[in-house]
Structure 1
Amino acid sequence: MLRYRILKLRGDCLLSLFLLTLIFGLILRIISLCRETFNHEPLSKAPGGDVEPFSLLLIVLGHSRPSSLQRLLNSLSKVEWLHSRVDLRIWIDRGSPRDSLRVAKGFIWSHGSKIVRIRKVHYGLLKSWLQAWPLWDRHDYALILEDDLEIHPQVYQAFRYLTSKIGSRDVDGVIFQRLQDIPCGSFVHFASSWAPVFSRRVFHDFVGWYNARRTCVPGFQPFVPGHDKTYNHWLRERRDVWSPWLRRYLYEKGTVFLYVGSLGMVHNHHERGSHQTEAPAFFVHRKIWPKVEWNRIQECVLQNSPVFECNNTQDGVQCGPVDGDRRALLRRGIKGFLSDKLWICGAPRAV
């Protein structure tokens, strides 16, 4: 009987020790995540002498293209990060080859924290974008990259300078995708998936808007006028796409992004993936980037930035000037909101 009590007491002690160790490890992990998220380095100066007023998060979405992922990460390692802290998150979708996870974990990142996660289930394109920026990552901006992209070594230099000059409060996001005949420094009403930069406020408002639409209007489809051959067509085909949802959100809110695409800061290889099913599997070549002269970046700071609207048509992206300013876009979005009888979801508001 005494032997049994001793063994039971020993077992209880071991179990208690195990639970304490588990709890202690969990606490350490939470502390580590908090440090990664909140402990940014002191604000540093951009080449133009302006103090950096924000923090940037890099988010990489990996699917089933390990070679493409490696090329993208190599391009990130060549970016001039100007001694800033820039944290990196790499999300690998379930169903990707093990090589994608190996590439992500083996990549050395010395400019901030790096977290690699493989999804527990297959997310697909839409959910991967919606879940790209977790709420606990409280950075001011996020640059979101699909794995078949490459970015210019001066992309951060340009982004930081322009955002500090224009004012981070006035920049809801940045478009690096090259569009036709639009002056650098303009504001553009367009949904780009080529390395877009979102402000935290806009991205999480978009996710909340999406959840509200799906909850309060079952079967709602985010159709937008002028996109019958592209976004609206993809929705009718029930494709796994996210850009129509973002375009509808921008349409309702009248949101515009800062355009710097004429600087040529991003290259899309259009390789086979969730959306490009007919494209080649992998391009061996890498982009050779020309140096962008500093005066070209400075010229993107405009006194009165014009506003353009761009639509993704069957013949490519078509852009034109907006008659008025952003408020004209917002008024039009409200009309579309009312005509679709969406008042049950709450009135739209500018963000």
Structure 2
Amino acid sequence: MVGPKRHFLPLVLISLTAFFFYSYYHSSLPPSTSEFNPNLTVSNPIHAQSYNPSLTNFSFIVKVLGFNRLDSLSRCILSLANADYLGDRVHLHVYIDHFAHQNGSSTTLDQKLSESHRILEFVDGFDWKFGEKLVHYRTTNVGLQAQWLEAWWPSSDNEFVFIVEDDLEVSPLYYEFIKSLIVNFYYNASNYSPSIYGASLQRPRFVPGKHGNKLQLGDETRLFLYQLVGTWGQILFPKPWKEFRLWYDKNKAKDIRPLLEGMVTTGWYKKMGERIWTPWFIKFIQSRGYFNIYTNFLHERALSVSHRDPGVNYGKTAGPDSQLLDDRSLDFNILEMHPLSSLKWFDFCFREVIPGRVVTNMDELGLLLPYLKNQDSVFLVNLCEISDSLTRNLLCHFERLNIRNYILFGPESDFLFDLARRGHPVINIDQFVKTVGLYKLTSQGSQFEAVKSILAKAYIIKKFMENGYNSWVVDGNMLFLSADLFLDLESKDPNDDFFLATSLELFYARSSNTAKKMWDNNFVSKVVAMVEDLARKISLSHGKPSFVHVMANLLEENGAKCKKLDETTYGVKIGSGNVNKSYLGNKKLVYWSTEMGLESIQKWLEELNLWVVDQESSCTAVVCHKS
């Protein structure tokens, strides 16, 4: 499609603004989680409803970071002045870093002073017609990190900045695009996500995760989301930036460095230290699970181009990194914005992430399964009564072992919604049991929570079987040391439909014809009856029914082939005795009693080098496995 003519663009954008402004204030609820869409970004509905920005207070500031490159700075500011600002009031703030005070000849000093003064004369004399012009000339050399971090503290949730370094050049179309993007993805409630921290106008060229996938996108992809921050023309949203600055202050004060194993940027930080700021922001983004909007305009085109002039990053001029997109090369409608639910999301390894997968019923579970990896087996991980930090640690081990075919299930909570926001598929067990009629159960207290978990597992396994998936049911009180255990058991004992390990609460169900025939609605009804009866019998002792125990009894009654696993052959129990790294040997997993306290579990796992989360319970490494 050929883009609209320039004189129509203001009218088009005004119309878009009015439409989305109307849509926002007439949409009282966020996207419904009851209509399951595997590509839909779903945040905690409570938080989504409380977010209420006002487009009438929208303000935009361009922040230009300069140092000692007059030719670069003048080219940058002239390109900014050539943009169409649609009659909006847009402010220009120019930050000029001072040269470092070093011993040298008076001639060298005079040259530096003259260069700084010429830059100031140019900026002072430049007529910025679109709003306020502010010049901040520093008294000392603060470097690139402080230039970025001290450039902005948002005055409201409706103030946005576009930060450009002085060797950038922007397209005349850049503001029209940015304004449309902000209207669509910040002010439109149906497209808003708290996971998005901004947008980059540079052409994506870099994957920071070591051994990550190549940057490959289809020609039809115009917009996508990617975790990596862009430094060659970055729009920042106010709330995430404030959150980052407070996070940075806390970590810097406590001398916590932004080290993230498996990232190329960590190597940069070890070499350049506090001269650069991006490793700090990358670590923050990894800990929060946030994303950036990027463009894919094909033919190496972008709305912001770096000329890569000599400076912190380049010893000599490398030339433009991309082709500047303008009216002459515009062969599509640049203001066309697809719904957020249709956009692709990618992590630091450039692996696709699918956020918002919250399952509440059997139909939604059936829709989810085809989006799992093309493997025969699925891990169903029980998070009931498992702490948040232990869950995070488990998921970091999944990443290291490249275990991606899993579904987490647990009670409705902010934490469960946050896991879904970050791209982990989850089952809301509280809603799930209601939809299958289990809300009528008579059990109470902790017994009821255990009963819900057991019965949900029975229904979920049935759905897995119907869709041709084998099931591995595990609790969150264990860590896998290798994925070989599951592959070995499935291949060595192909005639056994079921495996179980009582102490581990580990259960396997093969999706064979015999197993599917047995695991019908009548079998699930037997599970309901047995669990209810068992819960009543043990209620006085305050015990809890065991899923594996129930399965062992029912499978035996139905004459199913069921192999009992020797826990000591495959696993090591921590919490007592002398367990160290050498003792693990060829074991496949470690596990612990649910009665153990979190501090004791963490201490044991730290001694075994199995605690792989930091102070914020985010992974200490990014591990890339090629798709």
Superposition TM-score, scaled by structure 2 size: 0.42
- Identity value in percent: 22
Say whether residues 1:194 and 2:232 are aligned partners: yes
Q: Give the RMSD, CA atoms, in angstroms.
A: 3.1
Task: Tell me, in whole angstroms, the C-alpha distance in 2 between the residues paired with 1:330 and 1:45.
Answer: 34
- The Cα shift of 1:282 comes to 8.4
Task: Tell me, in whole angstroms, the C-alpha distance in 2 between the residues paired with 1:167 and 1:208.
Answer: 22
Q: How does 1:67-82 map to 2 (within 5 A)?
A: 67-82=71-86
Residue type of the alignment partner of 1:82: L
* CA contact 1:91–1:118 (8 Å) conserved in 2: yes
Task: Tell me, in whole angstroms, the C-alpha distance in 1 between the residues paired with 2:71 and 2:227.
Answer: 33
List runs of 5+ in structure 2 lacking aligned partners. Answer: 1-10, 22-54, 100-114, 205-214, 357-417, 425-610, 618-627
Could you say if the C-alpha distance between residues 163 and 331 of structure 1 is closer, same or farther in structure 2, counting changes exceeding 3 Å? closer
Could you say if the C-alpha distance between residues 195 and 209 of structure 1 is closer, same or farther in structure 2, counting changes exceeding 3 Å? same
- The Cα shift of 1:119 comes to 1.0
- The Cα shift of 1:343 comes to 4.8
Say whether residues 1:178 and 2:145 are aligned partners: no
Say whether residues 1:280 and 2:317 are aligned partners: yes
Say whether residues 1:249 and 2:280 are aligned partners: no
Say whether residues 1:320 and 2:351 are aligned partners: yes
3-state DSSP of counterpart to 1:153: coil
3-state DSSP of counterpart to 2:199: strand
Could you say if the C-alpha distance between residues 324 and 224 of structure 1 is closer, same or farther in structure 2, counting changes exceeding 3 Å? same
Task: Tell me, in whole angstroms, the C-alpha distance in 2 between the residues paired with 1:343 and 1:49.
Answer: 40
Q: How does 1:184-333 map to 2 (within 5 A)?
A: 184-216=222-254, 218=255, 220-227=256-263, 230-239=264-273, 240-262=275-297, 264-276=302-314, 278-280=315-317, 289=326, 290-293=328-331, 295-298=333-336, 300-310=338-348, 319-322=350-353, 324=355, 327=419, 330=422
- The Cα shift of 1:261 comes to 4.5
* CA contact 2:167–2:309 (8 Å) conserved in 1: yes
Task: Tell me, in whole angstroms, the C-alpha distance in 2 between the residues paired with 1:70 and 1:176.
Answer: 20
- The Cα shift of 1:49 comes to 3.2
- The Cα shift of 1:226 comes to 2.9
Could you say if the C-alpha distance between residues 114 and 147 of structure 1 is closer, same or farther in structure 2, counting changes exceeding 3 Å? same
Map of 1:41 onto structure 2: none
- The Cα shift of 1:225 comes to 3.6
3-state DSSP of counterpart to 1:172: strand
* CA contact 1:88–1:113 (8 Å) conserved in 2: yes
Moved more, 112-121 or 261-270: 261-270
Map of 1:315 onto structure 2: none
3-state DSSP of counterpart to 1:50: helix
List runs of 5+ in structure 1 lacking aligned partners. Answer: 1-43, 312-318, 333-337, 345-351
- The Cα shift of 1:294 comes to 5.4
* CA contact 1:47–1:161 (8 Å) conserved in 2: no
- The Cα shift of 1:136 comes to 5.2
Task: Tell me, in whole angstroms, the C-alpha distance in 1 between the residues paired with 2:117 and 2:156.
Answer: 26
- The Cα shift of 1:181 comes to 3.3
Moved more, 100-109 or 80-89: 100-109
Residue type of the alignment partner of 2:13: A
Superposition TM-score, scaled by structure 1 size: 0.72
Map of 2:139 onto structure 1: 120
Map of 2:28 onto structure 1: none
Moved more, 130-139 or 152-161: 130-139
Q: How does 1:108-187 map to 2 (within 5 A)?
A: 108-135=127-154, 140-168=159-187, 169-170=192-193, 171-179=196-204, 180-182=215-217, 183-187=221-225
Counterpart selection for 2:615 from 330, 342, 348: 342
* CA contact 1:187–1:257 (8 Å) conserved in 2: yes
Could you say if the C-alpha distance between residues 58 and 321 of structure 1 is closer, same or farther in structure 2, counting changes exceeding 3 Å? same
Matched positions, count:
284
Counterpart selection for 1:49 from 10, 13, 16: 16
Task: Tell me, in whole angstroms, the C-alpha distance in 2 between the residues paired with 1:97 and 1:139.
Answer: 34
3-state DSSP of counterpart to 1:46: helix
Residues 75-121 of structure 1: per-residue CA shift (max 9 Å, x gap): 00111100001111001001172222222212111111010010122
Task: Tell me, in whole angstroms, the C-alpha distance in 2 between the residues paired with 1:120 and 1:94.
Answer: 6
Greater length-normalized contact order (CA 8 Å, ≥ 6 residues apart): 1
Could you say if the C-alpha distance between residues 65 and 45 of structure 1 is closer, same or farther in structure 2, counting changes exceeding 3 Å? same
Residue type of the alignment partner of 1:197: I
Could you say if the C-alpha distance between residues 108 and 139 of structure 1 is closer, same or farther in structure 2, counting changes exceeding 3 Å? farther
Q: How does 1:35-46 map to 2 (within 5 A)?
A: 46=13
Moved more, 101-110 or 161-170: 161-170
Moved more, 67-76 or 295-304: 295-304
* CA contact 1:60–1:145 (8 Å) conserved in 2: yes
